[in-house]
Structures are given as structure tokens and as C-alpha cells.
Amino acid sequence: MIKELLINLLCILGVGNMLSAQTAKFQTPPMSWMTWNYFADNITENDIKEMADAMVSSGMLQAGYNYIIIDDGWQGGRDNRNNIIPDPKKFPSGIKALADYVHSKGIKLGIYSDAALLTCAGYTASYGFEEQDARTFASWGIDYLKYDYCNAPGDREEAIKRYSAMSEALKKSGRDIVFGICEWGHRQPWLWGAQAGGDLWRTTDDVRDKWMRKDTDGGGEGILDIVIKNLELGKHAGKGKWNDMDMLVVGLYGKKGPSGDLGGVGCTDVEYQSQMSLWSIMSSPLTASNDIRKMNDETKRILMNTEVIAVNQDPLGHSAEVVLHNDDILVLKKELKNNEIAIAILNKLPDNKVINFELQSLGLDGKYQLRDLWKGIDMRASSHWKGTLLGHETKLFKISK
């Protein structure tokens, strides 16, 4: 109450805009398209422009995906005043002109750097140049920075120092730039990421375009591996501080890019639909990484289901809780606005499975109407849901309490 009065007073005094500019954190998980999984470091300004066009024409922007994030590989070293510059062959018009183009479409632009001298792919990074680079990014009109941690020391204290240094530099840059921490969950950033100025933080190693890790893959996270690693992390997330479960691999089909390494042979549409369901209910950022210039109908259906996206973007900003988890099934629930709840039921097995889920295990007695969000239909009121799940399928329901 007192806080609200104070904010009203500051608004009347004209300080409100300043205040909101400084506190414009993501109230719901960010939604974006990111270059890495499809292009790796083979990116050009033309590619980004085409993606911006496709974001509008495909309906992705309208569905809520409103950032394009340029990942590693844009850098061309430093000029004779140590200003970081883009690779002139890949970005001949410069990043400012590109940002203007992207902004003209109603899309925000993100960029990538790293808290060491070199990035993961070996390009120029920002350690020791935080303030100068932050000023450069601001002058280009950058809205988001993904800040990686390759080639930096292992201990947590140093990581906190390096991330804090960049977030302070961004705050001083004169532009509102959101800050994505990317140290792959190695130092439990859910415990310190917000204090170090992060708006979101990656919780695992890089996602690969596969359902689950195999011993023969040489590592790499599959969709289910990432889900399991995040099951207990929801309590650390909320408005302005999100657990980033890495990019959606929906629509990549194992065809191209780094997500195809380490056993990333591609997934089925059923598995991609599960990724979208689980990332949504677990309130992860939704970061598409497929070629949005040419998507088949299934990919569009999965990435742009407005009712599923609404579960991710629910204004309460809650994350999912585990209701039931065993070798066969995972059931998650998420509290939504208007006294509604979302429920995800995942069949972890490769074969079909008949499931009878009692609503009582959610603390709900009596009969309730479930809405199947993927089918877009309301079901007959019942005290349970019984049905067959395909192998690796996730059903997503909404219930009004």
C-alpha cells in the first residue's frame, strides 16, 4: 500500500518513467528467436533481416515472440580505440542499421558476448571492456545481452563478479538492456543470478535436438534430461528472474547446426510438442531456434498455439510443481490467474500408455471440466482424466477450480 502510494507520488512528480525504465524486467518469460541452433556462427545481416520479416509474416511476433537474439559469431574484433566491431563481411551495414530495421518491425534485438577474452566459438569477448562494450551495445540500440562464460575461471565468486560487472555496466549504459546469464547452471545461478543483475539464467548445458541422452552420444542434453534437471528449480524463479531451459529445438528435425551435434538426430513432432508443453508449464523462456522462414504446419501449430503460450505467459509468473514423478509418468501443475491451474501429463516411455489420472491428487474433490489445450476442446466434467498417451507425448490441460 505504502509502496503503491510512493510509486504514484513519484509518477506525479514525473519520476515514474525513469523508475519504470530502470525496472523494466521481464514480468513473464521472454519469447524470442535465437540464431545459434540453426546458423551457428555463419550469420549475416541479411539472415537476421529475413528472420525479422519471417517473424512478422509467419505470425510468430503476433503470438508473442518479440526478440531476435544474435548469438556468437557476429564479432569482428576491436578497432584502434578498442571499440568492439561486427565482422564487416557478415554485417556490412553495421549493427545499428540492423537494429533500426528489426525495431521497425516491432521486434527487439539481442546480442551475445562472454565474460572472458574470447567467446565459446573463439570470437572477441567483453572481459575488461564491460563499460565500453555496454556503451557500444546501447549506442547500437541493443535491448538484450546474452552473456556466456567460456574461457573464464571456474569458481562461483569470480563468476558473480564478472556477471555483476557487466550488469552494472549495462545499467550505466543509458539504455534498458536485459541481461541473460549463460554459465549452463554449473554454479547454481538460480541462487545468485538475480543479485548479479541477471533477468534469466541458463540452468543446463546446451540443448541438443534429441529426446534423451544416450551413453553413446558423448554428452549433450536432450529435452527430457533438461526437464528432469529443472524439476526442483521452479521455486527460485518468478517475475524478472527466470530459469532458462535453453532453446526450443522444435522444427529443427536434426537437420542443421550445433543442436545436431552430440546425438542430436532430431525429434518427432510429438516430442517437440512435449518440449513446448513442458517449457511452457515450467515457465522457461521460449526461444525458438528453427528456420522460421519455412516452417511446416506442425511446427507452426506447436510454436504458435496461443493457449499453450498463455500458460507460459501467465501474469502470476509461477513455475510448475511436481505432482507425480516415476519411471513412466511425470505430472506437473502450475497455478494460473483466475483460480485456474494448468496440468501437464508426460508419458516418459517410448510406447503408448493408458493413464488414469485422479484429480484428487491435485487436492481437487468432485468433478471438474478439463480443457485440452492442444486440441482446443472442453471435456465432460469428471473427477479424473483417462486416456492413451503416445510415447513421449505430453497432454496439457487447464482446469478452473
- The catalytic site residues sit at 148, 206
Tell me if 181 contacts ligand GLA by CB under 6 A.
no
Minimum distance of ligand GLA from residue 114's CB (angstroms): 8
Q: Where are the beta strands (DSSP E) in 21-80?
A: 31-34, 67-69, 75-78
The residues, any chain, with a CB within 8 Å of residue 134's CB and separated by 6 or more, are: 145, 166, 169, 170, 172, 173, 177
- Determine which residue in the list 10, 85, 121, 323 makes contact with ligand GLA, applying CB under 6 A: 121
Nearest CB to ligand GLA, comparing residues 203 and 347: 203
For 224, the grid coordinates are 527430457
Which of the ranges 116-124, 130-138, 209-217, 313-321 carries the binding residues for ligand GLA, by CB under 6 A? 116-124
Minimum distance of ligand GLA from residue 119's CB (angstroms): 6
Nearest CB to ligand GLA, comparing residues 233 and 346: 233
DSSP secondary structure code for residue 12 in this structure: H
- Determine which residue in the list 35, 51, 71, 395 makes contact with ligand GLA, applying CB under 6 A: 71
Minimum distance of ligand GLA from residue 156's CB (angstroms): 18
Residue 202's CB: how many other CB atoms inside 10 A?
27
Site track for ligand GLA across 125-164, x = CB under 6 A: -----------------------x----------------
**Angle between helix 130-140 and 94-104 (nearest 10):** 50
Angle, CA 201 vertex, CA 3 and CA 338 arms, to 5°: 50
Nearest alpha-carbon partner for 30 in 102, 99, 100, 108: 108
Nearest CB to ligand GLA, comparing residues 167 and 259: 259
For 64, the grid coordinates are 508473442
Site track for ligand GLA across 11-50, x = CB under 6 A: -------------------------x--------------
Nearest alpha-carbon partner for 319 in 285, 345, 350: 285
Positions touching ligand GLA (CB under 6 A) are 36, 71-72, 119-121, 148, 182, 184, 206
